[in-house]
Structure 1
Amino acid sequence: MTSIDLSRIQNRLANIAICTKCKLPKHGRKGSQVTIFPSRKNAAAVICESRLEAHFCVELERSRNVLQYEAHPFTIHFMEGRYRYTPDFLVQFTDGEQKLIEVKNDHSYQDKNITGRITRYVDWLAEQGCILEYLPAAKFYGKIRTPNLIRLYHGAYSSRGSASSSIRTLLTQCVPNRRPIDFLIDNGYAPEDIAYALFYRAIHCDIFKPLCLTSLVWI
């Protein structure tokens, strides 16, 4: 595993803040649960302070533009007003850019005090050339979509994706090229390889409906 260069953002913030190592959460905030997420991109476990953070990890794993990411990368101690803030994620993109991300449940996002505080940090960081993106759960969590993606991600964990091209070829030869998942299984493809192809979008399905063996897939 290649670690993310934390110093890039830390150096940009040197004029307004000091960054220190963040302690891994042992228990979540009230109403939250510490969750260990098995990250393929990081080749390591990611310690999440809540299930919402773990759900967002699934989005980061699925994004083609994300190279690596780290949860709670450091704590920022602002010199002005003695504010302290630990971002949820530091994301390294394939184009070399880095971004900090904060995720909140919809209730917290609507809290004026919480949102006002985070918005202040967004502005301070922007003045130093750093991006902090503030996201409500509604931007990425779906009642059916998210459980589907979690199921596909964990189902695909043992696959290396080598069958994805062959699965696409088979569907291309079908007329029409929409077939149920059990059609792929009947043609000898392992469930983990089908899950891999679906999660990483080599093939597609309607992830806004509950997935089952009769769900249609296509290229």
Structure 2
Amino acid sequence: MKKLRSHIGGTPSPARTIKRSQYGKQTTFFSSRKNGSQIVCEVRLEADACFLWEQDKNVVSYREQPERLTLEVEGKSRTYVPDFEVCYADGSKKFVEIKPENVFLKPKYLALYRAARDFLRDRGDDFELLTDNEIRKQPRLNNLIKTYSQARGVDPLELAYLRDQLRVLEAPMSIGDLLALPSAPSPASISAAIFELELRCDWTKPISTNSQVFWG
């Protein structure tokens, strides 16, 4: 069975290697612009969580399968590898476990995660249980996927051109009206600006060419 590797270079290798085609798993590669690397996700839900960290301005980096912990769980020694380590601009770190809500409710998992939380907090790190209910809020997730994907490959010059145009335009405008300008900015630059929150819009509704965007 072929093993998947990620993080070529100076970033530490995952503590637990994810294998391809495990039963019940849907291994996914997430192309992270923030990390400049491919993130190997054991299930699709983990890849969906990556969109949240890509947009979060406080997150500077994140990595999968970061560290093997030795814990005491109900009187027994257990090893456990959190799904992700997330590093923040203030220097803090959070270890994150990602699972569907119904999995977290099982007593055997709750005991493990309580032990992990206590262990990590004792050494000054945080621990979070992140569920599908939080990750897959709609239409936020679809908006993140759409704008992140459409911004792929955007050139810095395209973004600079968009910013120059916005300086002489009056907000708000619809995305369609921006694209209809005589010398319109590129769709990729608009998507990138929306994802990075340079252009503000209503994330409680699906983003389309009719969406109003604000700036300044």
Correspondence for 2:66: 73
2:50 counterpart residue number: 57
Asked if the contact 2:70/2:80 (under 8 Å) is kept, the reply is: yes
State the TM-score, normalized to the length of structure 2. Answer: 0.82
**Which among 150, 159, 162 is matched to residue 160 of structure 2?**
162
Once residues 167 and 91 of structure 1 are traced to their aligned partners in structure 2, the CA distance between those partners, rounded to angstroms, is 35
1:69 Cα offset (Å):
0.9
Q: Which residue of 2 aligns with 1:9?
A: none
Partner secondary structure for residue 77 of structure 2: coil
| Gaps in structure 1 of 5+ consecutive residues | 7-19
Corresponding residue SS for 2:85 = strand
- Are positions 1:26 and 2:15 aligned together? no
Partner of 1:212: 208
- State the partner residue of 2:4: none
Q: From 168, 180, 194, give the equivalent of 1:198.
A: 194
Please tell me the root mean square deviation across aligned C-alpha atoms, in Å.
2.4
The residue type equivalent to 1:62 in the other structure is Q
Q: Percent sequence identity over matched residues?
A: 26
Deviations 1:125-145 (CA, angstroms, capped at 9, x unpaired): 212222222222223321321
How far apart, CA to CA, are the structure 1 residues paired with 2:69 and 2:43?
20
Q: Is the 8 A contact 2:71 2:116 kept in 1?
A: no
Q: What is the rounded CA distance, in whole Å, between the counterparts of 2:51 and 2:129 in structure 1?
A: 17
Find 2:85's aligned residue among 64, 83, 90.
90
Stretch deviating more after TM superposition (161-170 or 66-75): 161-170
- In 2, Cα distance between equivalents of 1:216 and 1:52: 30
Post-superposition offset of 1:2: 7.7
Worse-superposed segment, 123-132 or 200-209: 123-132
The reply to whether residue 120 of structure 1 matches residue 138 of structure 2 is no
Question: Which letter maps to 1:24?
Answer: I
Residue 104, structure 1, aligned to residue 102, structure 2 = no
- Provide the secondary structure at the position in 1 that maps to 2:94: strand
Q: Distance in 1 between matches of 2:83 and 2:26?
A: 14
Counterpart mapping for 1:180-191 below 5 A? 180-187=174-181, 188-191=184-187
Q: Which amino acid aligns with 2:45?
A: L
- For the residues of structure 2 that align with 1:78 and 1:88, how far apart are their CA atoms? 16
- Aligned length in residues: 201
Deviation (angstroms), 1:5: 7.0
**After superposition, what is the alpha-carbon deviation per residue over 1:77-114, rounded to whole angstroms, capped at 9, x for unaligned?**
33672211111111122222222111222222333332
How big is the shift at 1:181? 0.6
Cα separation, 2, equivalents of 1:38 and 1:142: 21
Quote the offset at 1:209 in angstroms: 1.5
Preserved CA contact (<8 Å) 1:4 1:92: no
Name segments (4+ residues, structure 1) moved above 4 Å. Answer: 1-6
Bigger mean CA deviation after superposition, 21-30 or 69-78: 21-30
Amino acid at match of 2:199: I
The change in CA–CA distance for 1:58 and 1:195 in structure 2 (over 3 A counts) is same
